[in-house]
Amino acid sequence: MAPGTDLNALPYVPYVAYNGSGPTGGDSLTENLNVFYESGDIAWMITSTALVLLMIPGVGFFYSGLARRKSALSLIWLSVMATAVTTFQWFFWGYSLTFSHHAGKYIGALDNIGFRNVLAQPSVGSARIPDLMFAVYQGMFSAITVALAVGAICERGRMLPCVIFMFIWATVVYDPIACWTWNPSGWVYQLGGLDFAGGTPVHISSGSAALAYCYLLGPRTGYGTQALNYRPHNVTHIVLGTVFLWVGWFGFNAGSALSAKMRAVMAAVVTNLAACTGGITWCLVDYRLERKWSTVGFCSGVIAGLVAITPGSGFVPPWSAIVYGVCAGIGCNFATQIKYWVHADDGLDIFAVHGIGGLIGNLLTGLFAADYIAHLDGYTVIAGGWLNRHWLQLAIQLCDSVVGMAYSFTVTALILGTMSYLGNHLPFLKLRITPEQEKLGVDEAEIGEFAYDYVELVRDVRPRDPPHDVSQIFEDEEVEVESQRSHSRAEMVKGLETGMGGNGGGAYAMRTLSRLPEATADPYRYPGAVGTAS
């Protein structure tokens, strides 16, 4: 640039160093606050924020597909509601408690309550992006962590107490762990813990909380019997949720570089490699037992690989991602047996995939973290892990993992135990639906809406010859006879009205969940209604 060039005449905004003008970064009426940051970094972080948001419905679809159809919608509802509740909590005081500029070793101050003074000052996460950008990006991390944890209530938990739990848990569990891990004032950060994108704050904390929630709720009706030996009701939902998560994880991990630099590119590379390797590994482990190439197994392995690489994604070289994927695929697969050892009905294996997957990732980061990878952004300096002969790093990673797991499990149990006790006097705080409601399904008992136009009483609709009591047939019961399935809601309603079951022959055990009057909407719950099969 020639001397004397008029900067205002240039076709772009020149970048200048932050001048330290106040807690908001300056007066936007008299200063151009954009000159402190590169537009490419801001654009990448906005994109990453949207990608992490995409992951949250992905969690809902993944969980929904794994459950039974009578509770499928409730798990999607919980995911999107977690976004709303946690976003408000994050705005109200969550961000301040986590990333305050005046935080202590364990928790932040309230100087940024209600996003007060959150504007253009460089964030505590990186001087390359302002507080406001960092706040909205990290808010998505808080939301997805809560969404992961509350999947523990699947098929038996009430919605209102869970929503209250979301706000409390984000405040007293997620915010402190995230503060001590990522805030420069935090004890883990100062100890030298390496957690690039959330091994402990996101995955270990949510997995441990889910395990505690499962204990406090108790097992589902029929736990330990063939009644719960069902297949995932919708594998397509599982694949769809996996795709949303896989795509969004690029914003989750690569976005955690907090700038559009080579370090972000490396994080994206190792994220994808670990996901692919994890999926292949889990699938092979399942094939060893079942002699089937399981789609659900592949998707579970992909998620396990993504979870494991999360804490190390900005610290490790590409070849190590293969080790992450293999270790996560094997380790998380075998960890699905833990719920039987500890007698916890973790129906979605949240602790196995996220709790154990996060632990595996943290420990491997202690082995493979490399100083030259971290410095790809041009300014981060670390001692590295065993790859750099920094032997102490593995002990630091183990300490971080164990403390985070114990804290999340213990405090979650205290929160839910208190709510359960108060529920004896305040019915709206009762954590669990009744056995009768559980038999109907959470969708019908708590939401009144359904994931599908109709719900079959059995997985495969079968002729009832001789006639028998439909109440003895449960959803997802396996059958071995040839069956037909009517996919036409109109035909099914017509069949119910004529007593012919929609196929002109024998009556079939099926019910419609259309918005018909109560007396005709479900003839099997109201024996005198029109269309009751005989």
For 38-91, what is the HEC assignment?
CHHHHHHHHHHHHHHHHHHHHHHHHHHHHCCHHHHHHHHHHHHHHHHHHHHHHH
Please check the confidence at residue 5 and state whether its pLDDT lies above 90: no
Percent of the chain residues past pLDDT 90, beyond the cut: 75
Average pLDDT over residues 217-221: 93
Provide the pLDDT for residue 227: 79
pLDDT band at 482 (very low <50, low <70, confident <90, very high): very low
Find the range with the poorest average confidence among 241-250, 287-296, 367-376, 402-411.
287-296
pLDDT band at 42 (very low <50, low <70, confident <90, very high): very high
Q: Which two tokens stand for residue 423?
A: 């529920």
**Alpha-carbon distance 285 to 304, whole Å?**
13
Q: Which two tokens stand for residue 157?
A: 């938990």
Find the range with the poorest average confidence among 5-19, 155-169, 347-361, 502-516.
502-516
Percent of the chain residues past pLDDT 70, beyond the cut: 82
Provide the pLDDT for residue 452: 84
Domain span at residue 233 reads 40-447
Q: Is residue 530 a contact partner of residue 521, using CB atoms and an 8 Å limit?
A: no
Q: Is residue 17 part of a domain?
A: no
Q: Is residue 163 part of a domain?
A: yes
pLDDT band at 325 (very low <50, low <70, confident <90, very high): very high
Q: Is residue 147 a contact partner of residue 63, using CB atoms and an 8 Å limit?
A: no
State residue 510 phi and psi, 5-degree precision: -150, 150
**Alpha-carbon distance 462 to 379, whole Å?**
66
pLDDT band at 10 (very low <50, low <70, confident <90, very high): low
Q: Is residue 269 part of a domain?
A: yes
Mean pLDDT, the chain, rounded, equals: 86
Counting the structural domains of the chain, the total is 1
pLDDT band at 232 (very low <50, low <70, confident <90, very high): very high
**pLDDT per residue as tens digits for the range 240-299:** 999 999 999 999 999 999 999 999 999 999 999 999 999 999 999 999 888 899 999 999
Q: Is residue 512 part of a domain?
A: no
Q: Is residue 13 part of a domain?
A: no
Provide the pLDDT for residue 475: 46
Q: Is residue 147 a contact partner of residue 111, using CB atoms and an 8 Å limit?
A: no
Please check the confidence at residue 333 and state whether its pLDDT lies above 60: yes
Q: Is residue 517 part of a domain?
A: no
Provide the pLDDT for residue 22: 84
Provide the pLDDT for residue 534: 25
Q: How far is CA 292 from CA 10, 412, 468, in A?
A: 63, 38, 35
**Alpha-carbon distance 224 to 242, whole Å?**
28
Single out the residue of 357, 372, 183 nearest to residue 266, CA to CA: 372
Q: Is residue 52 part of a domain?
A: yes
Average pLDDT over residues 354-369: 98
**Alpha-carbon distance 145 to 118, whole Å?**
23
Please check the confidence at residue 455 and state whether its pLDDT lies above 60: no
Provide the pLDDT for residue 460: 46
Find the range with the poorest average confidence among 159-163, 233-237, 323-327, 458-462.
458-462
Please check the confidence at residue 519 and state whether its pLDDT lies above 70: no
**pLDDT per residue as tens digits for the range 85-138:** 999 999 999 999 999 999 999 999 999 999 999 999 999 999 999 999 999 999
Please check the confidence at residue 419 and state whether its pLDDT lies above 50: yes
CATH number for the domain that contains residue 143: 1.10.3430.10
User: Which alpha helices (DSSP H) does 369-447 contain, by range?
Assistant: 371-374, 393-423, 435-440, 442
Provide the pLDDT for residue 488: 36
Structure-model confidence comparison of residues 452 and 301, the more confident one: 301
Please check the confidence at residue 180 and state whether its pLDDT lies above 90: yes
pLDDT band at 218 (very low <50, low <70, confident <90, very high): very high
Residues 6+ positions from 302 with CB-CB distance below 8 Å: 242, 245, 246, 275, 276, 278, 279, 282
Provide the pLDDT for residue 223: 87
Q: Determine the distance from the C-alpha atom of residue 234 to the mean position of all C-alpha atoms in its chain, rounded to a whole number.
A: 18
Q: Which two tokens stand for residue 215?
A: 């204990």
∠ CA 191-192-193, rounded to 5°: 100
Q: In sequence order, what DSSP letters do the residues of 284-305 get, joined into one string? A: HHHHHHHSS--HHHHHHHHHHH
Provide the pLDDT for residue 394: 97
Q: Is residue 479 part of a domain?
A: no
Please check the confidence at residue 237 and state whether its pLDDT lies above 50: yes
**Alpha-carbon distance 416 to 432, whole Å?**
11
Average pLDDT over residues 445-473: 60
Q: How far is CA 127 from CA 5, 94, 121, 436, in A?
A: 28, 21, 8, 56
